Structure 1
Amino acid sequence: MVMYADIVFVTNAVIDYTLLVATGTVCRQPMHRGRLLLASFIGAAYTVFLFFPPLSFAFTFIAKWLFSCLMLFIAFGWTNAWTMLRLLAALYGASFFIGGGLFALHYYMEQQSEIVNGIVVTHTGRQPALWLLVLGFPALWWGVRSGYRALKASRQTDVQHVRLEIELFTHTVACTGFIDTGNRLHDPLSRAPVTITELAVWNEVIPEALMAQIEAGMPDTGQLSDEEYRWFERIRFIPYRTVSSETSLLVALRPDTVRVYTESDIYQPEGMLIGLRPGTLSSGGTYQAIVHPQAFAGEHHLAS
């Protein structure tokens, strides 16, 4: 058997890059193309040990584990041990899924390629590894990504309710929120996303006179005290279109801090406005807020 180092290197570099992208996607890590490319090239450079039998110790479990940690450190950096363990689990999970699929395709298509010490190699006079990479790998990657999205969507019913905490001045308002992926309400001037809460959750916080004016739909600065005017300075008016295509104004507050708690994560979206809606949002009273999906952007993630 003759192995071509260039084909082995390129094949494994592309595979490593895709596995790192899959790992970052599953673990919701910020990804930088340059770091991913560097990590995938270093991972592919691991194949050089295949051509030097005296370096066979590099194919031990400990050596492979350390090399995997190095690739993840280069690709995503270091945050803490728990995050590194999650990344390792995701990397090996993706490797087992996609690697197992490639191995099955190899036998199904009777290609003259094989896996030696975890490295895809090809025989002389044939280019099956290239066909395997061009056809099989994208198909398997699409399958894994689609399966992950389907699993994530199926779990949406379990995580669609979150805990919402809003801080304004010295007050903290807490309620249950519903994640509405169809909510696209923004402030037309600042483009700040708007999360809507029931006005009733603010009963003990907003001054009574101002609360009555908000319920009426248009606060009047001429009838407000100094304390109430301080609140009025935090008010914004958000135009929106109703189901019947009528345009109306939603009274919103600009809070100091907004935090969203899911079962395992905490998010703190910056610049989010809180719309105040009289009446109830849920007929069963299961939630009191409709949370804008932009609250769960990666840059707002605090902890998990």
Structure 2
Amino acid sequence: MTVYADILFIVNLYVDALLLAAVRRFLRLPLGKGRFLLAALLGGVFGLCALLPDIRGFPLLLLGAMEALALAAAAFAPKPIITLLKAAFLLLLFGAALSGLLLLAQCVLPLRGVLLSNGAVYFDISAPALVLLTCAAYGVLYLFDRLFRKREPDVLFSTLTVTLDGKSASLPAKTDTGLTLREPFSGLPVIVAERRALGELLPPDFGKPDAPPGPGLRLVPFTSLGADGLLPAFRPDCAALSGTPADCWIAVSDRPLSAGSFSALVGAELAPALHQQRKDRFSC
């Protein structure tokens, strides 16, 4: 079979874009259009490996793992390494599912011009057939997601928007019914957010032990399983949860709150969607 490098590049760009979309949805990770395009282009470049001499066994597995990790980093860095490893594993898993579907299609359908080599895929077929096969693979992955992954209600998730001194940051937030922190003097509820997710909203040394106390800094005591301490907090100029204003303080955590699916924890009383769901549930 004659393999054309330009078609090989485009096909693998397209397929890797679908696989990245599946991983993003499965792990609930944010993915901007620029990063999505960058990772897809990198996947197209990796597809050119099909032009190399045939690779099999452990070297092929190692090559696939390295490519998957590079794609995960291109799409989702600087998420924690455990999140990148999960994304790389899912890319390998979903890629194997796609390869299996293509092999099955070759057995039961009169397909010609399909090549799987060195972890890359090549189609010498019409564009409609390419779209049909890749969408079918994505549909299988979506069905797997719906049937086997433990899902949390969407009502538990929202977008936290924080504004301070003219700067704004948006963070994916999760409602935690066990979070009851309050700022001691005002009695207002406290939202806990990851420091790095707040970006340039705060000085890098805000609330750290060796830094001078900044204006508006408050220390909020917390107690959790096996640990207690103080979290530095600030009063934002404006805060909103999915567009609904929230009167609160923001406590800053140097430790990640999740593997990448959310960057802030919100008490139940500050989650308007959850309250509305409860009202609808008990209104008869």
Q: What's the TM-score once normalised by structure 1's chain length?
A: 0.52
Task: Answer yes or no: is the 8 Å Cα contact 2:115–2:123 preserved in 1.
Answer: yes
Query: For residues 193 and 28 of structure 1, do their structure 2 counterparts lie closer, same or farther at Cα, with a shift above 3 Å needed?
Result: closer
Name which of 141, 146, 149 aligns with 1:144: 141
Task: Answer yes or no: is the 8 Å Cα contact 1:166–1:255 preserved in 2.
Answer: no
Give me the whole-angstrom Cα distance separating, in 1, the residues matched to 2:80 and 2:137.
31
SS of aligned partner of 1:30: coil
Deviation at residue 96 of structure 1 after TM alignment: 2.5
Task: Answer yes or no: is the 8 Å Cα contact 1:167–1:256 preserved in 2.
Answer: no
Unaligned runs of 5+ in 1: 175-189, 195-237, 239-251, 275-288, 296-304
Amino acid at match of 1:84: L
Q: C-alpha offsets along residues 254-280 of structure 1, whole Å, 9 cap, x if unaligned?
A: 456599xx99887535xx7x8xxxxxx
1:19-98 counterparts in 2 under 5 A?
19-53=19-53, 60-98=60-98
Give me the whole-angstrom Cα distance separating, in 2, the residues matched to 1:263 and 1:3.
44
Query: For residues 132 and 293 of structure 1, do their structure 2 counterparts lie closer, same or farther at Cα, with a shift above 3 Å needed?
Result: farther
Query: For residues 20 and 292 of structure 1, do their structure 2 counterparts lie closer, same or farther at Cα, with a shift above 3 Å needed?
Result: same
Task: Answer yes or no: is the 8 Å Cα contact 1:39–1:74 preserved in 2.
Answer: yes
Q: C-alpha offsets along residues 141-185 of structure 1, whole Å, 9 cap, x if unaligned?
A: 1332244245457665xx9984222222288799xxxxxxxxxxx
SS of aligned partner of 1:168: coil
Deviation at residue 74 of structure 1 after TM alignment: 1.3
Is 1:116 the counterpart of 2:117 in the alignment?
Answer: yes
Task: Answer yes or no: is the 8 Å Cα contact 2:39–2:75 preserved in 1.
Answer: yes
Amino acid at match of 1:114: L
Task: Answer yes or no: is the 8 Å Cα contact 1:8–1:47 preserved in 2.
Answer: yes
Give me the whole-angstrom Cα distance separating, in 2, the residues matched to 1:132 and 1:91.
23
Deviates more, 1:109-118 or 1:55-64: 55-64
SS of aligned partner of 1:115: strand
Q: C-alpha offsets along residues 87-146 of structure 1, whole Å, 9 cap, x if unaligned?
A: 1122122222333223322322220123122222245xxx25x34421121132133224
Query: For residues 3 and 162 of structure 1, do their structure 2 counterparts lie closer, same or farther at Cα, with a shift above 3 Å needed?
Result: same
Name which of 240, 247, 264 aligns with 1:268: 264
Q: C-alpha offsets along residues 160-211 of structure 1, whole Å, 9 cap, x if unaligned?
A: 984222222288799xxxxxxxxxxxxxxx89449xxxxxxxxxxxxxxxxx
Q: Which residue is equivalent to 1:292?
A: 271
Task: Answer yes or no: is the 8 Å Cα contact 2:69–2:85 preserved in 1.
Answer: no
Equivalenced residues, count: 201
Identity %: 21
Give me the whole-angstrom Cα distance separating, in 2, the residues matched to 1:256 and 1:266.
15
Task: Answer yes or no: is the 8 Å Cα contact 1:50–1:56 preserved in 2.
Answer: no
Query: For residues 258 and 146 of structure 1, do their structure 2 counterparts lie closer, same or farther at Cα, with a shift above 3 Å needed?
Result: farther
Task: Answer yes or no: is the 8 Å Cα contact 2:35–2:75 preserved in 1.
Answer: yes
Task: Answer yes or no: is the 8 Å Cα contact 2:11–2:121 preserved in 1.
Answer: yes
Q: Which residue is equivalent to 2:179?
A: 164
Give me the whole-angstrom Cα distance separating, in 2, the residues matched to 1:132 and 1:59.
31
Q: C-alpha offsets along residues 42-98 of structure 1, whole Å, 9 cap, x if unaligned?
A: 222123333343x95996332332222222211112333322221112212222233
Give me the whole-angstrom Cα distance separating, in 2, the residues matched to 1:75 and 1:63.
18
Give me the whole-angstrom Cα distance separating, in 1, the residues matched to 2:6 and 2:101.
23
Structure label with greater radius of gyration: 1
Query: For residues 191 and 139 of structure 1, do their structure 2 counterparts lie closer, same or farther at Cα, with a shift above 3 Å needed?
Result: farther
Amino acid at match of 1:165: T
Task: Answer yes or no: is the 8 Å Cα contact 1:106–1:114 preserved in 2.
Answer: no
Is 1:103 the counterpart of 2:100 in the alignment?
Answer: no
CA RMSD of aligned residues (A): 4.2
Task: Answer yes or no: is the 8 Å Cα contact 2:9–2:47 preserved in 1.
Answer: yes
Q: What's the TM-score once normalised by structure 2's chain length?
A: 0.55
